Amino acid sequence: NLSYELSQEKKNRTVVEKVIDNTDYKQIDTLKKELEYKNKKYENLSKQKMILEQQLERSDVKVKEYEELTNKLKAVTREQDDLGRQVEATSELSEMVWEIEKVLKGSLAPVKYAKAIRDMSDNQIIMNNLDSVIGHVESWCKEMRKITNKNNIIEVV
C-alpha cells in the first residue's frame, strides 16, 4: 500500500508543462503551495516506508532469535529427558544389583546349603532339580553378559 502510494507520487511528479502566465501571481502561488504540499507528502511517505522497513528488519531479527531460543529450549528439554531416563535406569539397575546380592549372599548362599546338598547327593531327583536351577541361573548370567557386552559395558572383576 505504501509502495503503491510512493509510486503514485512518483508518477504524479512527472513534469507536465503548462503554459502559465508569469503575471498570474495567484496561480503561481497556488502551484508553489501544491508543489510544496506534494513534496512534504512524498517525504512523509518515504519516512514511513523507511520506518516500516526498519520495523520489518527488527521483526525478522526477533523471529530468528525466537526460533533460536525455541531450538535451544527443545535441546535442553531433550537433554533433560535423556538425563531423567539415565537417572531412572541407574536407579532400576542399582536396585536389581542390590536385590541379587542380597539373595546370593543371604538366602541362597552356597554355604547355607552345602551340608544338605552333601546329605542328599545320592537323591537323583533333588540333584536334577538343583542342576536345573543352576542351569537357569547360568543361562540368566549368559544373557546378561550378552546384553552388557552389546552396550560396551566392561566387566570389572
Same domain for 90 and 117, yes or no, is: no
Say which range, 15-24, 47-56, 57-66, has the weakest mean pLDDT. Answer: 15-24
The pLDDT, as a whole number, for residue 24 is 79
Confidence band of 17 (pLDDT split at 50, 70, 90):
low
pTM, full prediction: 0.46
- Domain residues for the domain of 22 are 2-108
- Helix 2-12 to helix 25-105 angle (10° resolution) is 160
The pLDDT, as a whole number, for residue 142 is 92
The pLDDT, as a whole number, for residue 18 is 66
The pLDDT, as a whole number, for residue 95 is 92
The pLDDT, as a whole number, for residue 131 is 93
Say which range, 45-54, 61-70, 84-93, 147-156, has the weakest mean pLDDT. Answer: 147-156
Q: What is the DSSP letter of 152?
A: T
Same domain for 88 and 147, yes or no, is: no
Same domain for 93 and 125, yes or no, is: no
Same domain for 114 and 94, yes or no, is: no
Same domain for 84 and 147, yes or no, is: no
Arithmetic mean of pLDDT, 103-126 = 89
Distance CA 93, CA 98 (A): 9
Residue of 5, 10, 84 lying closest to 45 (CA atoms): 5
Same domain for 58 and 74, yes or no, is: yes
Model confidence at 4: pLDDT above 60: yes
The pLDDT, as a whole number, for residue 154 is 57
Confidence band of 14 (pLDDT split at 50, 70, 90):
low
How far is Cα of residue 49 from the mean position of the Cα atoms in its chain?
A: 37
Arithmetic mean of pLDDT, 39-64 = 93
Same domain for 50 and 68, yes or no, is: yes
Arithmetic mean of pLDDT, 60-89 = 89
Same domain for 96 and 132, yes or no, is: no
Same domain for 119 and 51, yes or no, is: no
Confidence band of 12 (pLDDT split at 50, 70, 90):
low
Contact 48, 3 (CB under 8 A): no
Contact 110, 104 (CB under 8 A): no
Cell numbers linked to 47: 519516512
Give the number of domains in the chain: 2
Beta-sheet strands, E only, within the chain: none
